[in-house]
Amino acid sequence: MDVLKSCSLSIEHMKGLKASSESPKSQQPVAGPGNPFYRPIKWDKSYYSFTGFRDPEQELEQAKRVEPTLSLWLRNHEKEATKKQNASVPRREELKRLKKELCQKFALEDIRWQRSWGVTHRCCQLQSLSRLSQQNPEAVLNLRGHTIIFTDQSGINASGHVMLGTMDVHHQWTKLFVSLPSYRSLRQQTEWLKERISHVLGGIQVIDIERLGPVQPIEEHCSILNTFHKILLARRLALHPRSLQGLAMTLENDRSSPSLHEMGHFVIPATCEPSRLQTFLQSMAWEA
């Protein structure tokens, strides 16, 4: 303003600017010993990495991208799930009816599925079995007392259950039904081998566990038991006849070392060396 006065120029417009600049709203703190720096500080990412402090920008981005919780997801899909469940009631009732009829008609122990097929797929499988029973009732009579498992391949599994391959035709199912009596001797031999192995290994029980995935046919299972039994007989173990009674084990053909399953049974390789097996069983018996 002094410069304008010295030049005899008007200073009226400067008075208005001065008044507005001195108003409380336009005043901002000035950095100094008594005032903090008024502008926000934006630190480099390396600062947060080095100090371990939280990066507010990163936290904001994570909050925007946060995944929904289970309870929120369930609430969001509750309506759709209820709709599908109600729509499937007739089909599920039909599945229950078909299963009950077949079990009663052929005196079956049970009907199971080795894979998690849908209700419609399961109904079709039972209907296919029902049609076969009408076409060849004599062959189906051999199913009496058995458990049927719909799976990927036809045959008899290690537990003696009848496996029906879902991709097989009726002729293959019929051929299996006709041959069921011939499997009895193989089943008896399997049980005898389990008893002999149990006797040699201090009373431990040899069990079969059904699981998802490829099913072991009884022929392969019997061969594994026979091989393992011969290995044990070749070198007698110094185990008390009842020292491992109450415990259980499974034989696996694709294992290289014995282990203790989280369910409490031993998982033993079919080719496990006897002395190594004895040491393992005795050291882990208390934990099993």
**What tokens does 103 get?**
């079990």
User: What's the CA gap between 154 and 176, in Å, rounded?
Assistant: 7
User: What's the CA gap between 149 and 114, in Å, rounded?
Assistant: 6
Give me the sheet containing 162-165, strands edge to edge: 110-113, 147-151, 162-165, 155-156
Largest distance between two CA atoms of the chain: 127
Q: Are strands 147-151 and 155-156 parallel, antiparallel or unpaired?
A: unpaired
Instruction: Identify the DSSP state of 110.
Output: E
User: What's the CA gap between 102 and 123, in Å, rounded?
Assistant: 12
Q: What does the DSSP assignment read for 53-77?
A: ---HHHHHHHHHSPPPPHHHHHHHH
Q: Which carries the bigger pLDDT value, residue 23 or residue 114?
A: 114
Please give the average per-residue pLDDT across 72-98, as a whole number: 90
CB 2 within 8 A of CB 14: no
pLDDT band at 36 (very low <50, low <70, confident <90, very high): low
**What tokens does 180 get?**
């069921």
**What tokens does 4 get?**
């304008």
Q: Residue 113: which of 105, 124, 261 has the closest Cα?
A: 124
Confidence check: pLDDT of 180 > 80: yes
**What tokens does 193 get?**
């081998």
pLDDT, mean over the chain: 82
Which pLDDT score, from 0 to 100, does residue 59 have?
Answer: 79
**What tokens does 72 get?**
């929120």
Give the distance, in angstroms, between the CA of residue 246 and the centroid of all CA atoms in the same chain.
Answer: 28
Q: Which carries the bigger pLDDT value, residue 217 or residue 211?
A: 217
Length of the chain: 288
| Residue 20 vs residues 16, 39, 220: alpha-carbon distances, Å | 6, 22, 97
| Residue 155 vs residues 108, 149, 161: alpha-carbon distances, Å | 16, 10, 8
Give me the sheet containing 205-206, strands edge to edge: 205-206, 248-252, 266-269, 259-260
pLDDT in tens, 231-268: 888 877 777 777 888 889 988 887 778 888 888 888 88
CB 240 within 8 A of CB 221: no
pLDDT in tens, 68-80: 677 888 888 899 9
User: What's the CA gap between 284 and 259, in Å, rounded?
Assistant: 9
pLDDT band at 26 (very low <50, low <70, confident <90, very high): very low
Q: What does the DSSP assignment read for 202-256?
A: TTPEE-----SSSPPBHHHHHHHHHHHHHHHHHS-----TTTTTT-EEEEETT-S
The least confident of 21-25, 133-137, 195-199, 215-219 is: 21-25
Domain ranges of the chain: 89-178, 183-284
pLDDT in tens, 122-158: 999 999 999 999 988 888 889 999 999 999 889 998 8
